[in-house]
Amino acid sequence: MKMKFVVGSWNMHRFHVNASPDDDFRSSRNIAISLFKRYKKVIDRGGGGENLKEFVSAGVTAYALGCTDEGLRKELMDIEDSGLEIEGLGSLGGTSSKFQVHSFETRECILWLSIVFITILCTPQLTVTRWSTNPPVSADVLHQWKGFCAIIANAYYVKGMAWLPVKTLQLEQMAVTGNSEEPSVVASRMQLVFSTLEVVSPQWPRV
């Protein structure tokens, strides 16, 4: 999917240059790169917090701009096939790093994005206006994760909760797919959903 507001043609060599924040959302390829860099930042720096919120915020923007999980997956797969490197967001020492896109990272990054998109769909009122009528995620992905996200959204909105027993979510996974993920993985998925809800529909004032 190429977005209508792309200006000019894309120079393939720019993958070696860290795009400025103003460029991050000018095309679907830029959006895919921006999301992937933020995904890598969460993985490389260990977990949630502000790094996870940065990924979620970029995902929310991608949703609003009408992106789909499959469209952005294709962009990352095209980058992987080309063998080009992406400039990172910088490391803790202030130096930058370059890395290539690998298939397993693409799958996980796009799964994170799909969970963000589905969480937005589970909010009880319209929290993010989408500039497209195209479904943000495929029917299969929606079927697999909607119940998972809905359970967490219900706990967040109705009960004011910010965490759930992992076992509850494993049972939901088992009911839908016949399998459940490891507790640590399920906990990280839950954290992603709660982080998305906090970004799109904050319920408590910041201290």
Q: Write down the pLDDT at residue 144.
A: 96
Is there a contact between 135 and 68 (Cβ–Cβ < 8 Å)? yes
40 and 65 in contact (C-beta within 8 Å)?
A: no
Contact 122, 115 (CB under 8 A): no
- DSSP output for 4-69: TT--S---GGGGGS---GGGTTSSHHHHHHHHHHHHHHHHHHTS-HHHHHHHHHHHHHHHHTT--H
**In angstroms, rounded to a whole number, what is the distance separating the alpha carbons of residues 37 and 125?**
30
Kindly state the tokens that stand for 128: 């993010």
Quick check: 181 and 171 in contact, CB under 8 A? no
- pLDDT in the model for residue 177: 93
Q: Categorise residue 7: left if φ over 0, alpha if ψ from -120 to 50, beta otherwise.
A: beta
Q: Give the per-residue pLDDT at 32.
A: 93
Domain locations along the chain: 12-200
pLDDT tens digits for 146-189? 999 999 999 999 999 989 999 999 999 999 999 999 999 999 99
Give, in order, the Cα–Cα distances in Å from 25 to each of 39, 94, 142: 16, 24, 25
| Sequence-separated (6 or more) residues with CB below 8 Å from residue 97 | 87, 88, 90, 91
Give the DSSP H or E segment for 87: strand 85-87
Mean pLDDT by 10 residues, the chain (207 residues): 30 30 72 92 81 95 95 91 70 56 89 97 87 94 97 94 94 96 96 95 67
